[in-house]
Structure 1
């Protein structure tokens, strides 16, 4: 059952990374608002949770496969959407993956893999979609992270990718704006999803003994565990994302919770970087 409100024009919306978490709930909320949602994911074997959520909400979704790290997958999906529906009004870049580690203990290939998913995947989808968003005067919404504003211990590669996304979008926004396309980055803080469980890190295998970073990592994991105990729900974060599809064009930067706003505010008012270093350094002391 949809409930398009007066003043909201139904849109053709592409959302990446919808098998779980924020992407799943954003897709369902957007469909509830009356939009036609093309909900994509890397592996269609993981669509069961999305299908169940759509059934519960009594909405229909156009579910398809899209791997943001495969150029052909990206171009084909965007072309298929335009061929099927005649236009593309909005894109939500949500696909991404977590990563935990520090550079001395990982390979350059691991770092590159993080960048491929979290940064180059966003760039690829954006590049393919922009000509169609120009035609529709559409919206480009990208889910980044508070980790795209404040670098965090043992998250060098992940935060670097999210910083890159924020820099890319902040630079693109005025250019896209001249063609009638609004650009927004969405910065969640701690969200109760499977994202953390999927970072590919086994706490039981935490280096000890001769590893100079073992104590800091243990402290970081303890602090992170406590922060996620009070995490925002994925449903509420997804609702924030979906709401950006309607009404006046949103601002460039949007946080999904008061906690995220407080955290990001530390950086945005920190001209010499000292406040951020005090904050994050305390996590691993």
Structure 2
């Protein structure tokens, strides 16, 4: 009866999958959600190997009806981990505003849909909201304009929500991974068509992709990133902002100490020259 329940979005792979297994191993009842439950096999196999079980539910974070249906059957919720999201590489001149809107729908409005629906349950349990952001929510990065915009929005929204939620007993945190070895890495590295269509931006895009491949050579594992999320779920006094590695902390610190923006632009500009 004392087992706490956590709902985690985007658990079919990567950080979400690792967090679901780690949370179950830590004694949580895990509601592991994903848009397509036909992809649950890898998660269920990992849970079985770890000697734990998870409850899999369908959830499309961009569909309010799906969000409502997923949460409708929960009598109790002690924590929400907003993890579902999607990477995106591109630049404004060469993509449509609709492309940017789609990135915002998944990475920003999806977080809002689920958090809004979960808050009544979290108020009742004095629970926690942990949202997986990115160092891209702190430092804008070349060819990640839409993705970083969405993550900046997540960070601003959650930073503003945190003191309000605290008045009703709900703790709000964001977790900022840097490079994590997941499917996102392959998606960034295999952009042959994007390069072919880059036109005047091709040299800069090629330099960015090469730099990104090298950055991911020493990427964290999803399990290492998940450990920071589990700590945010369980620590007695959660802080608002958590980085998942020393590299992420150092990168984020560049922005925090850069009052006029010159240090950040010098750093990120060097990636595409």
* TM-score category of the 2 structures, normalised to the smaller one: over 0.9
The counterpart of 2:222, out of the listed 194, 219, 234, is: 234
Instruction: Name the CA distance, whole Å, in 2 between partners of 1:264 and 1:178.
Output: 28
**Pairwise mapping of residues 36-47 of structure 1 onto structure 2 (< 5 A)?**
36-47=29-40
Partners of 1:42 and 1:66 within 8 A in 2: yes
**Pairwise mapping of residues 88-237 of structure 1 onto structure 2 (< 5 A)?**
88-198=77-187, 202-207=190-195, 211-237=199-225
Q: Partner of 1:245: helix, strand, or coil?
A: helix
Change (3 A) 1:280 1:63: same
Aligned residues: 272
Unaligned runs of at least 5 residues, structure 1: 1-8
Determine the structure 1 residue equivalent to 2:59. Answer: 66
Q: TM (normalized to structure 1)? A: 0.93
Determine the structure 1 residue equivalent to 2:50. Answer: 57
The counterpart of 1:248, out of the listed 236, 256, 259, is: 236
Instruction: Name the CA distance, whole Å, in 2 between partners of 1:243 and 1:210.
Output: 42
Instruction: Name the CA distance, whole Å, in 2 between partners of 1:158 and 1:16.
Output: 18
* 1:129-188 residue CA offsets vs partner (Å, 9 max, x unmatched): 011111110000000000000000000000000000000000000000001100000000
Partners of 2:8 and 2:30 within 8 A in 1: yes
Report the alpha carbon displacement of residue 249 of structure 1 after superposing the two structures with TM: 3.0
Partners of 2:195 and 2:206 within 8 A in 1: no
Judging by fraction of residues, say which structure has more helix: 2
Report the alpha carbon displacement of residue 198 of structure 1 after superposing the two structures with TM: 4.1
Report the alpha carbon displacement of residue 81 of structure 1 after superposing the two structures with TM: 1.8
Q: Partner of 1:278: helix, strand, or coil?
A: helix
Change (3 A) 1:210 1:32: closer
Structure 1 residue ranges (4+ consecutive) displaced by more than 6 angstroms after TM superposition: none
Q: Partner of 1:237: helix, strand, or coil?
A: helix
Instruction: Name the CA distance, whole Å, in 2 between partners of 1:114 and 1:196.
Output: 17
The counterpart of 1:260, out of the listed 248, 252, 255, is: 248
Unaligned runs of at least 5 residues, structure 2: none
Determine the structure 1 residue equivalent to 2:261. Answer: 273
Partners of 1:97 and 1:198 within 8 A in 2: no
**Do residues 48 (structure 1) and 64 (structure 2) align?**
no
Report the alpha carbon displacement of residue 196 of structure 1 after superposing the two structures with TM: 2.9
Report the alpha carbon displacement of residue 202 of structure 1 after superposing the two structures with TM: 4.7
The counterpart of 1:22, out of the listed 15, 23, 33, is: 15
Partners of 1:89 and 1:136 within 8 A in 2: yes
CA root-mean-square deviation: 1.4
Instruction: Name the CA distance, whole Å, in 2 between partners of 1:189 and 1:20.
Output: 17
Q: Partner of 1:40: helix, strand, or coil?
A: strand
* 1:70-112 residue CA offsets vs partner (Å, 9 max, x unmatched): 1011011112122xxxx11000000000000001111111111
